[in-house]
Structure 1
Amino acid sequence: MSDSHVSPLIAALGEAIGIPALRADAQGCCRLLFDGDRAVELRCAPAQGRWVLSCALRGQRLDTAGMQVLMQGNHMGAGFGGGWSGVDAQGLAVVHLPLPLPEASANAMLSAIELLLNHVERWERRLLEAVPAASGSRMAEWAQRI
């Protein structure tokens, strides 16, 4: 998808959300800020035949247990509605959601953004509730309760 296709889609998205001057930057990335600190990145990946929407999860860096829970969610894309997760350069979890180029429209992009934000909120809660991996002492405490 060339810039001639990216710009009209981003402009149409901007019109739909009340930001008529919305544009992609020189690298073809458009960032939208929600709730004051939740950045959603929209990037066209023509070689992959899709747009990639990304959003970092709020919170602390992932420990081993959190990383395991996050990676289990990646299994077959089941935990992310067909998307996937990763870890950014700062060690924060990031959720990515693809939008196929043939389906790309302002309405489809809005729906994908909403779905991405829902996944991000759900995974923030899930990681906060993640049970740390059983250590030797915890296993001993558990075994003594039997």
Structure 2
Amino acid sequence: MTSADPTRVVAIARSWLGTPYHDQASLRDVGCDCLGLARGVWREVVGPEPFPIPPYSRDWGETGPREVLAEGARRMMIEAPPAEAGPGALVLFRMKHRAIAKHVGILTGPYSFLHAYEHLGVIEEPLTQSWRRRIAFAFLFPQR
């Protein structure tokens, strides 16, 4: 599987800037959450979503034996070592120690990323050390 052009992924992701936050939605300029942003970028970069996304909780502190988000990404994306992930990579964040990865962002540069955040919508912000240390998994979008 070959990865998609990262410049194209970043451009498409940035076209979602300003989309309002809406839990479990995935419509550019209408509303999305962090996973909805990734799903929308997928549709534009790769094509139709390969399987329906079941309802999910918003609990960033959720624990459990399975990394459900990472398992889903592994089914359709190219896994990469987080330390080697560059622009265009989808990153999964573990927001609390010992919790499962529940937040998603797309790297836009070596020190920036884009994500959907409650009350703020889709924003681009610095990938600070605080964010960087929370990255648990990284994936590349496949080529169409």
The alignment's TM-score, normalised by the length of structure 1, stands at: 0.25
Structure with larger Rg: 1
Greater relative CO, 1 or 2 (CA 8 Å, sep 6+): 2
The alignment's TM-score, normalised by the length of structure 2, stands at: 0.26
